[in-house]
Homo-oligomer: A and B are copies of this chain.
Amino acid sequence: MFKFKLHKKDSTTKARLGEFTTPHGVVQTPIFMPVGTNATVKAMMVEGLTGLGAEIILSNTYHLYLRPGSDIVRKAGGLHKFMNWDKPILTDSGGFQVFSLGQLRKISEAGVKFRSHIDGAPIFLTPEKAIEIQQDLGADIIVCFDECTPYPSTFEYTKNSMELTHRWAKRCKDAKTRDDQALFGIVQGGMYKDLREESAKEIVSIGFDGYAIGGLSVGETKDLMYEMTEVTAGFLPEDKPRYLMGVGTPLDLVECISRGIDMFDCVMPTRNARNGTLFTSKGKVAIKNAKYAEDFSSLDDECICVTCKNYTKAYLRHIWMAKEILSYNLNTIHNLTYYLNLIKRVRSSIEDGSMNKLREELKAIYS
């Protein structure tokens, strides 16, 4: 039911071209997954998302468990049916959200006790529970429950945390009963290369359908993030997809693909859209800037999205200043088009051997 096929390895970088087959269709890798936290990619109609060429989305276990409740999603026939999206979905394990949103958390061998960020209700999440919830949600790809190690952390804390993640990974694998869901393991190890190696080897030895790299993009420098990504990817098997969680900027995508990553998710295109920051072929645009008040040119003349085709910067600025809902809609359409189109360009560049050229182009625009 799940198959990862490696089509090509780039000759000058560690970039890979592949495809991952899931029960809801085939995903071309490298891939970017728009984030649909609450069973909706914020400010996007599902009908529009398909039009932009999104192949797979991510949804958040933690959020859906709290609201509407995974039992309701299960009774609705699963997440695909609930949200009317019939392409692949990946759910994260809730680990990251427990650590970034959960209040008063207490970690033990059994799991994590914390309080809901919505109503303060006490919650106890364990590896078994995280799998149960994800089985209720019914995504194509589910992920092990882990501790996302804070940054910075001492070697000792990071090692203990990583070892807990390893024990939890085994429990997750044991708890899983559905065979129509792929399970990804998560490599931790903080900013310590030897721990990253140890974690990768241990998680691989347990054996999963794919491998996620967690605990990065948590405050460290870009160089450190790229280094940890490259080190970790080096210990992951070639014949499984590699997913770098929660990353990143357009340049991050290109840099990390060139270090061997196949899958990404990030709130950046959607969140920035709602903050009025737009990604274009010429760099970032803050649409509220007064200089766009009478700028009747399109946002990005290299972009073919509805926003760029049908509206001017002056209009986009106007609806942003007026806080119109359409502003969120049009900005999100554009930013997701930018990300999804960038990923397509990366795939073409791996195909024709011009990956490094594209990387230089992105560096020039974004650094």
| Chain A contact residues, CB within 8 Å of chain B | 38-40, 42-47, 63, 67-68, 72, 75-77, 82-84, 293-294, 296, 306, 310-312, 314-315, 317-319, 321-322, 324-326, 328-330
Residues of B within 8 A of A46 (CB): 310
Asked whether B315 lies within 8 Å of A83 as measured between CB atoms, the reply is yes
Residues of B within 8 A of A63 (CB): 322
Closest B residue to A328 by CB, please name it: B325
Contact of A325 among B75, B83, B310, B329 (CB under 8 A): B329
Cα distance, A324 to B317, chains bound together (Å): 22
Asked whether B44 lies within 8 Å of A326 as measured between CB atoms, the reply is yes
Closest B residue to A322 by CB, please name it: B38
Asked whether A318 lies within 8 Å of B67 as measured between CB atoms, the reply is yes
Asked whether A67 lies within 8 Å of B321 as measured between CB atoms, the reply is yes
Residues of B within 8 A of A322 (CB): 38, 40, 63, 67
Q: A318-B68, A325-B325 are in contact. Are A311 and B44 (CB under 8 A)?
A: no
The 7 closest A-B pairs by CB, nearest first: A68-B318, A43-B325, A38-B322, A40-B326, A84-B310, A40-B324, A325-B328
Residues of B within 8 A of A326 (CB): 40, 42-45
Most chain-B CB neighbours within 10 Å: which of A63, A67, A68, A310? A68
Residues of B within 8 A of A84 (CB): 310-311, 315
Asked whether A68 lies within 8 Å of B293 as measured between CB atoms, the reply is yes
Residues of B within 8 A of A68 (CB): 293, 314, 317-318, 321
Asked whether A296 lies within 8 Å of B76 as measured between CB atoms, the reply is yes
Asked whether A47 lies within 8 Å of B329 as measured between CB atoms, the reply is no
Cα distance, A68 to B82, chains bound together (Å): 40
Asked whether B294 lies within 8 Å of A75 as measured between CB atoms, the reply is yes
CB distance from A102 to the nearest CB of B (A): 17
Residues of B within 8 A of A329 (CB): 45, 325, 329
CB distance from A358 to the nearest CB of B (A): 31
Asked whether A306 lies within 8 Å of B38 as measured between CB atoms, the reply is no
CB distance from A24 to the nearest CB of B (A): 16
Most chain-B CB neighbours within 10 Å: which of A38, A63, A317, A322? A322
Cα distance, A310 to B81, chains bound together (Å): 9
Cα distance, A216 to B111, chains bound together (Å): 63
Q: A44-B326, A46-B310, A306-B47 are in contact. Are A39 and B319 (CB under 8 A)?
A: yes
CB distance from A294 to the nearest CB of B (A): 6
Asked whether A38 lies within 8 Å of B72 as measured between CB atoms, the reply is no
Asked whether B38 lies within 8 Å of A75 as measured between CB atoms, the reply is no
Cα distance, A82 to B46, chains bound together (Å): 26
Residues of B within 8 A of A38 (CB): 318-319, 322, 324
Asked whether B315 lies within 8 Å of A39 as measured between CB atoms, the reply is yes
CB distance from A241 to the nearest CB of B (A): 29
Most chain-B CB neighbours within 10 Å: which of A39, A315, A321? A315
Of the A-B pairs whose beta carbons lie under 8 Å apart in the complex, a sample of 13, sorted by A's number, is A38-B324, A39-B319, A44-B326, A45-B329, A46-B310, A47-B306, A67-B318, A68-B318, A72-B293, A82-B314, A83-B315, A84-B310, A84-B311
Cα distance, A37 to B116, chains bound together (Å): 38
Closest B residue to A311 by CB, please name it: B84
Closest B residue to A77 by CB, please name it: B296
Residues of B within 8 A of A328 (CB): 325
Closest B residue to A44 by CB, please name it: B326
